[in-house]
Amino acid sequence: MSLELSNALRAWAELATRQSMESNRQYMHERGYSFAQMNSLFFIHHHDQSNINELACHLGISKAAASQMINRLVEFGLVNRLEDPQDRRIKLLTLTEEGQALIRGNRVARHAWIDAFCAYLKEEDTAPIADALETLVEHLKAYKEYLEEKKSEE
């Protein structure tokens, strides 16, 4: 393992994550949503037709607390609560159009710093950075596939 590469990746990940999270925090604050509410919306976005139990498990909170949060998000018009056709006792969670728009807006806000950073760079620096990042993305995708294959073998 290359210690130089490992240190560079850690430094990059720390700075990029901090910048993205600050943009995320500002976006949520401007709209009056808590981190837990936005986290819930992202969970529902990535796990369409999840239920309260799955959300509570993901957030590490009680079902009652998750249900209260979902009630608020339903009141805000961000989440739909639908009956599971196979078990009417279970309520499935989906995002409304407004909830989906909020997620899209958050993603745009979290990534806005990237365009500003690219504009800040000197033209001669952009091509080598882009090439290195494209290579990094390819390796990360391959590594993710490797981990998924390894997990399925267990």
pLDDT tens digits, 125-135: 999 999 999 99
Residue owning tokens 């990029």:
16
Q: Give the count of domains, the chain.
A: 2
pTM of the model: 0.79
| CB contact at 8 A, 87 and 93 | no
The answer to whether residues 131 and 74 belong to one domain is no
- Give yes or no for residue 103 having a pLDDT over 90: yes
- Structural domain span for residue 152: 121-154
For residues 107 and 139, membership in a common domain is answered with no
- Same domain for 24 and 47? yes
- pLDDT, one tens digit per residue, over 34-81 is 999 999 999 999 998 899 999 999 999 999 999 999 999 999 999 999
Residues 10, 75, single domain; the answer is yes
